[in-house]
């Protein structure tokens, strides 16, 4: 089998030594080519070319952003049963997609698992989420669509992503403590704003005056260090999307849900919470432009965005 290894050398836990070990191990099993990414979107470009060139597998070695770029590149020309298989060797800080698949988040252990999957031919089909918004940059997707593997969000979480990206651009290293501090600062700003989100779900009346909306493609929604944060525990790669939206961001409400998510094993409930666990489609509109993120990657601001579930979109080596 012909395989392409896409490496992001800037990812948090990716090293030259680890890349060489991974490449050497894979080269003993498949006919391997290796590309190191050089610019934002490069992983998507080479993954799209790998599809056109008939590769049997594309392996993403980097963080969730690298995986997202590779997935979007593979699907740039559309869904097809002839798409290459996706392999994942984590190299970032959170590695949510790998964790949700049950893959080791340690690069060495993940490499061994990938080799075993190739040898024994083990894989699974996974569903993906699809984002459509007139505000998305056309240079990164086709027809203004963007795929996401584990989560997307409008409002608070996207603001946190924007602030963390700005701090990383100044040389700060991404860490759970950085995200926690940034989330707290963003919360203070969120409290100053009036509720402006409206959510539409198939078969229901529209819900207005929401503060934030998180959409999950699987469980967990993310990790905080080694702790899984589970907003929609019954959501998985085998069913449709989960929605977690709050009507109120008062301190008692936020402390209640943050405490629940950190101490308990998911399944949050409450009067201020709008939660759905298996919906094919979610539409969010806003009176004012709000930030939008997918898989921890900031896409910019928008006033209207649609999230759609696409089942069995991709084959992943497990």
Q: What is the mean pLDDT of the chain?
A: 90
Residue 267's Cβ-count burial label (10 Å; 0-12, 13-18, 19+) is middle
Which residues are bridge partners to 147 per DSSP?
Answer: 130
Domain for residue 76, yes or no?
Answer: yes
Domain shared by 219 and 89, yes or no: no
Q: Would you say residue 92 has pLDDT above 60?
A: yes
pLDDT at position 143: 47
Least confident of 38-42, 126-130, 135-139, 173-177: 135-139
pLDDT at position 136: 56
- The verdict on whether omega for the bond into residue 220 sits within 30 degrees of 0, i.e. cis, is yes
Domain shared by 266 and 182, yes or no: yes
Instruction: Give the domain-ending residue among 76, 91, 121.
Output: 121
Rounded to 5 degrees, φ, ψ at 304 are: -150, 130
Domain for residue 318, yes or no?
Answer: no
- Confidence band for 2, pLDDT divided at 50, 70 and 90: very high
Domain shared by 277 and 192, yes or no: yes
Q: What's the predicted TM-score (pTM) here?
A: 0.90
pLDDT at position 138: 43
Instruction: Give the domain-ending residue among 95, 121, 147.
Output: 121
pLDDT at position 90: 94
What CATH number corresponds to the domain at position 86?
3.40.50.10330
Host domain of residue 81: 2-121
Domain shared by 90 and 172, yes or no: no
Cα–Cα dist 157/183, whole Å: 8
Domain shared by 228 and 180, yes or no: yes
pLDDT at position 283: 97
Mode of pairing for the β-strands spanning 2-7 and 297-317: unpaired
Tokens 């666990």, located at residue: 277
Domain for residue 126, yes or no?
Answer: no
Least confident of 99-103, 133-137, 302-306: 133-137
Domain shared by 155 and 255, yes or no: yes
Q: How many domains would you assign to the chain? A: 2
The token pair at 39 is: 């610019």
Residues 6+ apart with CB under 8 A from 189: 159
pLDDT at position 295: 96
For the chain, give me the number of helices (H) and strands (E)?
A: 8, 16
Domain shared by 75 and 195, yes or no: no
pLDDT at position 137: 52
The answer to whether 217 and 235 are in contact (CB under 8 A) is yes
Domain for residue 39, yes or no?
Answer: yes
Q: By three-state DSSP, how is residue 51 classified?
A: helix
pLDDT at position 140: 42
Q: Would you say residue 309 has pLDDT above 70?
A: yes
Domain for residue 173, yes or no?
Answer: yes
Domain for residue 276, yes or no?
Answer: yes
Least confident of 64-78, 117-131, 134-148: 134-148
21-35 pLDDT, tens digit each:
999 999 999 999 999
User: Cα 164–166–167 angle (5° rounding)?
Assistant: 65
Q: Would you say residue 69 has pLDDT above 70?
A: yes
pLDDT at position 123: 98
Q: For the chain, how are helix, strand and coil distributed in percent, rounded to 5? A: 30, 35, 35
Domain shared by 175 and 65, yes or no: no
Q: Would you say residue 57 has pLDDT above 50?
A: yes
The token pair at 233 is: 């525990």
Domain for residue 297, yes or no?
Answer: yes
131-189 pLDDT, tens digit each:
998 655 543 444 458 999 999 999 888 888 888 878 877 777 777 778 778 888 777 77
Instruction: Give the domain-ending residue among 60, 95, 121.
Output: 121
Domain shared by 142 and 59, yes or no: no
Q: By three-state DSSP, how is residue 246 classified?
A: strand
pLDDT at position 124: 97
User: Which DSSP state fits 54?
Assistant: T
Domain shared by 155 and 293, yes or no: yes
What CATH number corresponds to the domain at position 204?
2.60.200.40
Which residues are bridge partners to 309 per DSSP?
Answer: 129
Start-end of H helices in 137-250: 156-169, 176-191
257-293 pLDDT, tens digit each:
888 787 776 678 888 999 999 999 999 999 899 999 9
Domain shared by 280 and 156, yes or no: yes
Domain shared by 13 and 108, yes or no: yes
């Amino acid at each position: 089998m012909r395989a392409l290894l896409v490496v992001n050398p800037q990812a948090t836990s990716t090293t030259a030594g680890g890349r060489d070990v991974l490449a050497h191990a894979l080269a003993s099993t498949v006919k391997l080519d290796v590309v190191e990414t050089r610019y934002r979107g490069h992983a998507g470009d080479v993954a799209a070319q790998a599809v056109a060139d008939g590769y049997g597998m594309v392996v993403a070695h980097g963080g969730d952003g690298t995986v997202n770029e590779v997935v979007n590149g593979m699907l740039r020309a559309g869904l097809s049963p002839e798409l290459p298989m996706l392999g994942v060797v984590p190299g970032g800080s959170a590695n949510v997609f790998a964790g949700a698949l049950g893959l080791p988040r340690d690069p060495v252990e993940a490499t061994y698992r990938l080799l075993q999957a190739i040898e024994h031919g083990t894989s699974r089909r996974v569903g993906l989420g699809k984002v459509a918004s007139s505000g998305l940059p056309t240079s990164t997707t086709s027809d203004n669509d963007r795929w996401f593997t584990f989560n997307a969000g409008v409002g608070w979480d996207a603001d946190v992503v924007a602030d963390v990206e700005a701090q990383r651009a100044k040389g700060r290293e991404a860490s759970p403590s950085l995200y926690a501090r940034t989330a707290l600062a963003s919360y203070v700003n969120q409290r100053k704003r009036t509720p402006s989100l409206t959510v539409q779900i198939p078969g229901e009346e529209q819900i207005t005056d929401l503060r934030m909306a998180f959409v999950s493609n699987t469980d967990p929604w993310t990790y905080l260090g080694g702790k899984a944060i589970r907003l929609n525990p019954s959501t998985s790669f085998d069913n449709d999307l989960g929605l977690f939206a709050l009507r109120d961001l008062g301190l008692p409400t936020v402390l209640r849900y943050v405490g629940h998510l950190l101490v308990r094993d998911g399944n949050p409930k409450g009067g201020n919470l709008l939660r759905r666990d298996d919906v094919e489609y979610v539409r969010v509109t806003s009176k004012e432009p709000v930030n939008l993120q997918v898989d921890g990657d900031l896409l910019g601001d928008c006033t209207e965005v649609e999230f759609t579930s696409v089942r069995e979109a991709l084959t992943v080596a497990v």
